[in-house]
Structure 1
Amino acid sequence: MAEREPLAALVEPAHTALLTVECQRGVVGPGSALPELAVAVRADGTLGRVAALADAARAAGVAVLHAVAERRPDGLGASRNAPLFRAAERRPVRQLAGTPATELADEIAVAACDLVVRRLHGLSPLAGTEVDALLRNLGVRTVVITGVSLNVAVPNAVFDAVNRGYTAVVPADAVAGVPADYAAAMLRHTLALVATVTTTEALLASWRGSGQLH
């Protein structure tokens, strides 16, 4: 088996971006459409670690992008070709554009230098969105993927990043899914095969060592 590239080299700020996935109030906030997921994210401190990574990324010169899922109030452009989409239409909290549900969670600051990409369709933050083009314009080769959920959007983001030629890095304690044993199995048996699975602390240490983080 080939040796893994050292993490610090893999996430060197000049060619790395941090992507937060669906860390929005309507998904992970107190009034979430997915209360079981929201409870899990808050109970284990996932959101705090995502926030810490975003702050450290900016300080080190790593680009920060936020992927938000939303829909128009009239539903135009939205798909109904999966049970998840049809269930979303019936939930009391809907991810409607321009409402608090599609704002980033309070724990996660959005800086002026961040990029926020909103999608109306699909399961992936990359497929059919501006994210891929923005990453290429930024000269990114490595994408650090955080957020929710390990059930759907995070695996989609990892697979799509790898399929587009990026190296994917996943901090295991800055992503979440339900139930917990399924999330752990997804990380160990699937994502670890295609991405570098690491920890928040290891990434923070790498960026501190970059010489740009103060």
Structure 2
Amino acid sequence: MGQEQVRGQGQAQGQAQGRGRDAGERLAERIRPDGGVVLLTVECQQGVVGPDSALPELAAVARASGALWNVARLVAAAHEVDVQVIHAVAERRPDGRGANSNARLFRAAARLPVQQHSGSKAVRIAEPIQVADEDLVVRRLHGLSPLAGTDVDPLLRNLGCRTLIVTGVSANVAVPNAVFDAVNLGYTVVVPADAIAGVPADYTPAMIRHTLALVATITTTDEVLGCWKLPRRPRPAGSAVSRS
């Protein structure tokens, strides 16, 4: 290899490292705890990602991939640095009043053996996510999106939110809906790629690469924790948590 090639490779590596540092600095600025950032968890409820899920394949992927654990890490970190957490929960009345029936997804959900009935165990936040007293839990009875037609947007505006970190499930429907709606409403969106999940498992990275990366900043849980100056924690074998 000639000197010019070596020099060229060195310059390219230096430029790449510089871009990496710049990207890290931009992320750190966007998600500063005192800079108008809010963490949103999407449908991380027992009836969706818990052991008795209505969607066992999705629940299995969310747990096996580490996505649910990473959501829990981000929530715990947000509590430590005083970042507001909002939990978006999808539910329906036992009589189905007001629920959508205008898509195959809604009609199929109405026939599932586990129902996301208001007030039931299924709509409580799933382990290992801890819910703090200061967290906001927003429950919707209709639609696909955690934002459209819910209290989430007014709450974000009242909180002075500029950047929304989106986590949870699923990468098939609710997560992209949340990202698109947030961007359309003027928020900057950050998505930790290892804190969302969908089915099949290989669909999530494709959705991130080809769609979400076009409209949101894609990062990782560790990068967010690094910006918040928190060390990585080992995953416990089991722990008791409070849920809502």
With normalisation by structure 1, the TM-score equals: 0.95
2:32 to 1, 6, 12: 12
Q: Is the 8 A contact 1:50 1:147 kept in 2?
A: yes
* Aligned match of 1:49: 70
CA distance in 2, matches of 1:185, 1:47: 19
Amino acid at match of 2:224: L
Alignment of 1:102-141 (within 5 A): 102-141=123-162
Stretches of structure 2 that go unaligned for 5 or more consecutive residues are 1-21, 231-244
* Aligned match of 2:109: 88
Deviations 1:131-187 (A, max 9, x none): 000000000000000000000000000000000000000000000001122111100
Deviations 1:52-92 (A, max 9, x none): 10011111121100000000001111010010000011100
1:203 to 203, 221, 224: 224
- State the number of aligned residues: 208
Stretches of structure 1 that go unaligned for 5 or more consecutive residues are 210-214
Matched, 1:159 2:180: yes
CA distance in 2, matches of 1:8, 1:60: 14
Runs of 4+ in 1 over 4 A off after TM superposition: none
Q: Percent identity?
A: 67
Amino acid at match of 1:11: I
Aligned Cα root-mean-square deviation (Å): 1.3
* Aligned match of 2:201: 180
Matched, 1:34 2:55: yes
1:149 to 165, 170, 174: 170
CA distance in 2, matches of 1:181, 1:55: 27
The DSSP-based 3-state class of the residue aligned with 1:18 is: strand
Q: Is the 8 A contact 1:60 1:208 kept in 2?
A: no
Amino acid at match of 1:123: L
Amino acid at match of 1:143: L
1:114 positional shift: 0.2
1:48 positional shift: 1.0
CA distance in 2, matches of 1:42, 1:64: 21
1:122 positional shift: 0.3
1:78 to 95, 99, 103: 99
CA distance in 2, matches of 1:208, 1:183: 28
With normalisation by structure 2, the TM-score equals: 0.83
1:194 positional shift: 0.1
The DSSP-based 3-state class of the residue aligned with 2:60 is: helix
* Aligned match of 2:121: 100
1:12 positional shift: 1.1
* Aligned match of 1:23: 44
**Structure whose alpha-carbon radius of gyration is higher:** 2
